[in-house]
Copies of this chain bind each other. A is one copy, B any other.
Amino acid sequence: MNKDSISRAVIKRLPRYYRYLGELMEDGIERISSNDLSQRMNVTASQIRQDLNNFGGFGQQGYGYNVEHLYQEIGRLLGVDKKHNMIIIGSGHLGQAIANYTNFERRGFVVTGMFDKNENLYGKEVRGIKILSMELLKDFIKKNDIEIAALTLPKTEAIKVAEELVSYGVKAIWNFAHVDLDLPREIVVENVHLSESLMMLSYNLTRQEDKKKGVM
């Protein structure tokens, strides 16, 4: 099956399946029907079956899903069965928050270096990870097999730094800067635009207020 043809909407739901299956495993549940899973996840059972059919099904008629098997298969699809070395560029509060998430490490995303252009931060450690000078970036990426870089720096710097990172061999950018990066097609870019998320919230809040006022 060609995984390129699977819609982003389906793929976006995989991490949520993965989270629920992980919780079922923690609760000692070994198998689950699509109906039971759908109730827990608040989606329809047919949606679950359709989504998972994109990847070859995994379920058995009359038995349901083997929780651990499905968890592992989705984990493999998501690439969290492998270790990925990650660096963080921009070591302010947001960068430090990310470095502190031990959950990322549990899923294979290992932060091995942090960088900043503010020399007052050099030598400081976050969960044992040293903050280094941007001048060391190139060597560090080559020596430590870095695949992913989280960009937690102002948007004015993000474009230039992203291009540098790619030239040093980084394959994926987790972009928190509020700017669109224009990088070669084969480079993976995943954006976290917090202000856009906040505007979505505000859009929905405004619609709720309209409803109360009887405006549509």
Contact = CB atoms under 8 A, between A and B. Distances in A.
Nearest to A212: B186
Contact of A15 (B11, B186, B199, B208): B199
Interface stretch (A31-39, A63-71, A101-109): A101-109
Interface in A125-149: 147-148
A191 B148 CA distance: 23
Contacts of A92: 97, 100
**Do most interface residues of chain A lie in helix, strand or loop, or is the interface mixed?**
helix
Nearest to A84: B202
Contacts of A42: 180, 182
Given A78-B206, A93-B97, A101-B195, A190 B200 contact: yes
A204 interface: yes
B148 A201 contact: yes
A194 interface: yes
A188 B174 contact: no
Given A14-B203, A188-B204, 9 more contacts: A19-B196, A77-B203, A78-B206, A80-B202, A93-B93, A93-B100, A107-B195, A107-B198, A190-B204
> 10 closest pairs, A vs B, by CB?
A79-B206, A93-B97, A15-B196, A190-B201, A79-B202, A94-B97, A15-B199, A188-B204, A93-B96, A78-B199
